[in-house]
Chains A and B, each alone.
Chain A
């Protein structure tokens, strides 16, 4: 992986060159701009490819990166694309606290080095009725949990989005904020340890675009999209079930589990079908978003109408 020090090095070299040349500066600055132009625009990540056994067809990068719910910026779907560019992603350390062997803060780059990267092509279904297929890049959450070694009191995992009102304008609005900040999500320990549960640092072979929850986000493919919390700041292992933000906002509409379920309607709209991004026709929503075989045992004996 190229390190962030590359750009300064090039500039440093070019500057020395510039000083040496003195009056020939014009030539040098052309050389500099040529150098800058020839630099790779985006870092490509190295990762193990997903063999895509479900034969899913991903949406385009343009669709996925221009249609986001990032309420820390705006409730609009496209406004965060520009607004999120103020985010500074390096350094970005993630805090691990609670019922674990050793509490610590770790840089995202160090996590990538520790756990390696793989691709996961997943369906993504929003509670609002739209869906997409995204090739995420990251590592499964259980790898991190194995490293953190939760103790016997750790029954749930709590996730928190970074709280930094200077970057996220909605967090600075106090009473007038669109939702409660910072955004919180939670998973039961067995859900968190499920091999499908994923921490993404990239998509489409590249680091996550800022508006898609850079530098690191959760992806839980069998749950409604709001469970897949963005721009993580804290991961805590806790004893009590965390109160996730949308449940706190409207408990009769959004629950803790939020499993994709075509048979349980949202009180205001139906969940039986979904609009695939970019299409004028709709498709049937699948139980657990098509991951029923893999995850239904987690919910054996539960009334999914009550535990929505």
Chain B
């Protein structure tokens, strides 16, 4: 099962590798595949705890793998920004990052994912797990980043947002119900 997840998670990367040669707009293609990969995996990493509550299916052991893969794609996405798009011109890169909301929103989201990835070892996770709730902040910022990156938002953007709302909404609803039952 874990191997299957790893293989599935590597699919977007394989796609990028095989289409790079023939890509008409290669930088855009790499941005899209790594960005979409990160978003899908991040949403998937939120699914196991939903599954456990809704259908008593315990997939929690895959959560870390999915989350780390989401981080790997985000890292590749940022690398495209730094190496290919900005061509290691750090002055312009910082100027752009500070000036353009769509970029700094993405940078903040990436920093959150970076901290989560660094504290994902068993030992550190025990201490930092409560800070991992920041993933919801990262999710909101990433969805916003994707919206702003498009000239007009299409079905994909609205689809991602809908999935995000369902996953977060279920948690909020669950918390509320839990609160109510505590009061009784």
Tell me the A residues contacting B by CB distance below 8 Å: 62-63, 66-67, 71, 75-77, 127-128, 130, 178-179, 249, 265, 268-270, 272, 275, 277-282
Contact = CB atoms under 8 A, between A and B. Distances in A.
Given A268-B101, A268-B102, A269-B102, A178 B25 contact: no
A279 B154 contact: no
Contacts of A275: 25, 27-28
Given A280-B26, A281-B87, A178 B102 contact: no
Interface string B81-117: 0001101000010001001111000000000000000
21 contacts: A63-B24, A67-B24, A75-B154, A76-B154, A127-B151, A128-B151, A130-B28, A265-B99, A265-B100, A268-B101, A268-B149, A269-B100, A270-B96, A275-B25, A277-B25, A278-B23, A278-B24, A278-B26, A281-B87, A282-B84, A282-B85
Secondary structure at the B interface, as helix, strand, loop or mixed, is helix
Nearest to B30: A280
Nearest to A132: B24
A66 B92 contact: no
Interface residues of B, number: 21
A179 B152 contact: yes
Contacts of B25: 67, 77, 130, 275, 277
B125 interface: no
Interface of B: 23-28, 84-85, 87, 92, 96, 99-102, 148-152, 154
A179 B151 CA distance: 10
Top 4 closest A-B pairs, CB basis? A67-B24, A75-B154, A63-B24, A268-B102
Contacts, number: 52
A270 B87 contact: no
Given A75-B152, A268-B148, A282-B87, A277 B100 contact: no
A275 B80 CA distance: 13
Name the residue among A71, A179, A268 with the largest chain B CB count within 10 angstroms: A268
A289 B99 CA distance: 24
Contacts of A130: 25, 28
Nearest to A63: B24
Nearest to B26: A280
Contacts of B152: 71, 75, 178-179, 249
Contacts of B28: 130, 275
Contacts of B26: 278-280
Contact of B27 (A66, A249, A268, A282): A282
Nearest to A268: B102
Contacts of B101: 268
Nearest to A177: B152
B84 A280 contact: yes
A272 B27 contact: no
A67 B150 CA distance: 16
Contacts of B87: 281-282
Nearest to B96: A270
A248 to B, nearest CB: 13
Nearest to B148: A268
A77 B26 CA distance: 13
Contacts of A179: 152
A275 B102 CA distance: 19
B154 A268 contact: no
Nearest to B89: A273
A60 to B, nearest CB: 9
Nearest to A277: B24
B146 to A, nearest CB: 12
Contacts of B102: 268-269
A71 B154 CA distance: 11
